[in-house]
Amino acid sequence: MKFNERLMALRKKQGLSQEELGFELGVSRQTVSKWESGQSYPDFQRLVLLADYFDISLDELVRGLDVGDVRALNESEKQLSSIYADVEGGKAAMRKYIRVLLGIGAAVLAFFAGIVCYAVLFA
């Protein structure tokens, strides 16, 4: 949803006319109408007043991002990062175990090669 649509929805949700919202912000009804039609945009000071008036964050007002949603996303990212770290740690452990097993396999092979050589030489 675009800023102008969000502003209109917030105003209507509060049951305000453009004139009433304009009065609260110190602007004319025509100014609010231009904001809602996308012909112009409020300055930063008015954006802050709008966010305070509707009791929402500037992010939610301007970009439609609810701070709670962003925090939930950040928490999900942390969980994914933790899972990824666990997987990477598991890969490193598996590489270590494979090296150990290959070393054991090489030692067993050398042992049997020695037995075969001994048997051939002294048979």
pLDDT score, position 73? 65
Q: Give the residue with greater pLDDT, 53 vs 92.
A: 53
| DSSP label at residue 39 | S
| DSSP label at residue 40 | -
Average pLDDT value over all residues in the chain: 87
Q: Residue 21 and residue 17: Cα distance in Å, rounded?
A: 6
- 69 pLDDT band, cuts 50/70/90, is low
Kindly tell me if the per-residue pLDDT of 36 is higher than 90.
yes
Tell which CATH classification among 3.10.580.10, 3.40.50.300, 1.10.630.10, 1.10.260.40 matches the domain 3-65: 1.10.260.40
Q: Residue 54 and residue 69: Cα distance in Å, rounded?
A: 18
Q: Residue 89 and residue 97: Cα distance in Å, rounded?
A: 12
Q: pTM of the predicted model, to two decimals?
A: 0.53
Each domain of the chain, given as residue ranges in start order, spans 3-65, 83-123
Residues 32, 69, 47: CA angle, nearest 5 degrees: 20
Kindly tell me if the per-residue pLDDT of 109 is higher than 60.
yes
